Amino acid sequence: MKKMTCKLTLLRYAALAAAIAACLPACVFQQNPPVFGIRIGNIKDADKQFAEYEGGNGDSPEHPMDVFVFFDLGDLSKVDNNYIQLLKIIGKHKKYVRLILTGQNMPEEFTSYPFAEAVNGMDRIVRFEMAHYVKSIKADENGRSPFFFYKNLKVVVLRVLNPNSAQVR
């Protein structure tokens, strides 16, 4: 009886090992993972990256593409800053995005004034994430939120390391 139980147990382990071995290459070592967005290292490459994006997301607010930004946004109060250029590119390509501003590319005070050229891109932002470097979010001279023209914006995330270091004005 013990020999038969050992053989059955051994066969079960062998079958389990074979199943894991068959699944492992497909599950863990997937050669072409699905593309959900783009990573932009500088503003000069942004237009090209949007044009070459072949992922399935970005065509509706319900299925936005992820856009990870790793470049300096520039002075947000000036019309020629890199952030406004990025918004123009987003508007040009008509993609809905989850905009993730990472690293030290954020100024301490976030302001986003609606320069006419950028409003088209603002209405394509569905989710907006800012790095913990932002210490305040400033309204414009009319008292409007910097996200006033972001018509499809559902979520704003401010990732903060120390909760006492951020304030909203």
**What is the model's pLDDT at position 144?**
81
Taking the C-alpha atoms of residue 84 and residue 79, their distance in angstroms, rounded to an integer, is 7
13 and 90 fall within a common domain: no
4 and 27 fall within a common domain: yes
Q: Residue 50 has which token pair? A: 């949007």
Distances (CA, A) of 106 to 34, 84, 129, 160, 168: 28, 14, 11, 13, 16
Taking the C-alpha atoms of residue 118 and residue 83, their distance in angstroms, rounded to an integer, is 9
24 and 42 fall within a common domain: no
How many separate domains does the chain show?
2
119 and 134 fall within a common domain: yes
Quick check: 163 and 137 in contact, CB under 8 A?
Answer: no
Let me know if 9 is exposed, middle or buried by CB neighbors in 10 A (0-12, 13-18, 19+).
exposed
88 and 49 fall within a common domain: yes
pLDDT in tens, the chain (169 residues): 555 544 445 555 555 455 555 544 444 444 444 447 899 998 999 999 999 998 889 999 999 999 999 888 877 777 778 888 999 999 999 999 999 887 656 677 777 766 666 678 899 999 988 877 777 788 877 888 888 888 999 988 877 655 554 444 4
**What is the model's pLDDT at position 61?**
94
Closest CA to 69 of 106, 107, 114: 106
21 and 43 fall within a common domain: no
pTM score > 0.75 for this model?
A: no
8 and 70 fall within a common domain: no
Closest CA to 125 of 160, 101, 159: 101
| Domain housing 8 | 1-31
Taking the C-alpha atoms of residue 87 and residue 117, their distance in angstroms, rounded to an integer, is 9
Q: Order the strands of the 167-168 sheet from edge to edge.
A: 109-110, 136-137, 167-168
88 and 71 fall within a common domain: yes
**What is the model's pLDDT at position 166?**
47
Helix count and strand count (H, E) for the chain: 4, 8
121 and 98 fall within a common domain: yes
- Residue 56: Cβ within 10 Å count: 11
**What is the model's pLDDT at position 35?**
45
46 and 118 fall within a common domain: yes
Taking the C-alpha atoms of residue 125 and residue 99, their distance in angstroms, rounded to an integer, is 7
8 and 56 fall within a common domain: no
54 and 10 fall within a common domain: no
Quick check: 125 and 91 in contact, CB under 8 A?
Answer: no
